[in-house]
Amino acid sequence: MEFITQAWPWYVSGPSIAFILFLVFYYGKNFGVSTNLETFCTIGGAGKFSDYFKTDWKERKWSLFFVAGIVLGGFISHQFLMPSEAIALNPETIKELNQLGFEQAGKSYLPAEIFSLEQLGTVKGFLILLVSGILVGFGSRYAGGCTSGHTITGISSFQKPSMLATIGFFVGGLLMVWFLIPLIF
């Protein structure tokens, strides 16, 4: 039981993700999450604004179930499988984050400086969440996939676009963490 409730080490987590990829392919589909963002647009009637969204979303219905499952899995984890909020971060990371103003680094699962209702109520806090979402949604569709579709599925099947996209993910991520986050927070 302890194994279930404590945080999983990388050598359990990584292979488990590969097992999910296996299951999705075994049941005849391709592993990836970000296409659903387009599906939501199509269902919401985005086809009226651009032909890009005139697709048959019913073919991707399985993926909506997949996403609903992810939400449910998150709920179950949060309710029953995570007795502690603490994360065993590098002490150096904790020190740096404390200096940036992230007071609960290492003690909380998500930073209140970004994900609290107080922050959501401020213009800056709201914009951080919204803009980050827009970048993720826009970028993943422009690049043709996200971490699951490109970094895991694409790289493991030796696809060049996925390697380029993953290099891009890291360039963007490094820019944000090293240069922009110290300016934003």
Out of 84, 98, 99, 171, the only residue in the binding site for other proteins (CB under 8 A) is: 171
Task: Say whether residue 24 binds other proteins (CB under 8 A).
Answer: yes
Min dist CB 56 to other proteins, Å, is 15
Interface pattern 98-117 for other proteins (x via CB under 8 A): -------xx--xxx--xxxx
Task: Say whether residue 60 binds other proteins (CB under 8 A).
Answer: no
Task: Say whether residue 140 binds other proteins (CB under 8 A).
Answer: yes
- Separation CA 169–CA 147 (nearest Å): 8
- Separation CA 82–CA 153 (nearest Å): 28
The footprint of other proteins on residues 143-162 (CB under 8 A) is 143-162
Out of 13, 84, 98, 99, the only residue in the binding site for other proteins (CB under 8 A) is: 13
The footprint of other proteins on residues 29-48 (CB under 8 A) is 29-30, 33-34, 36-38, 40-41, 44, 46
For 6-146, where are the alpha helices, taking DSSP H only?
Answer: 10-26, 35-43, 61-76, 91-100, 112-115, 117-120, 123-143
Min dist CB 138 to other proteins, Å, is 4
Nearest to 20 by CA among 152, 151, 135: 152
Which distant-in-sequence residues (6+ apart) come within 8 Å of 148 by Cβ?
21, 31, 32, 33, 34
Task: Say whether residue 182 binds other proteins (CB under 8 A).
Answer: no
Min dist CB 1 to other proteins, Å, is 13
Min dist CB 31 to other proteins, Å, is 9
Task: Say whether residue 173 binds other proteins (CB under 8 A).
Answer: yes
Out of 17, 98, 99, 182, the only residue in the binding site for other proteins (CB under 8 A) is: 17
Which distant-in-sequence residues (6+ apart) come within 8 Å of 144 by Cβ?
150, 161, 165
Largest pairwise CA distance in the chain: 52
- Separation CA 98–CA 105 (nearest Å): 7
Task: Say whether residue 57 binds other proteins (CB under 8 A).
Answer: no
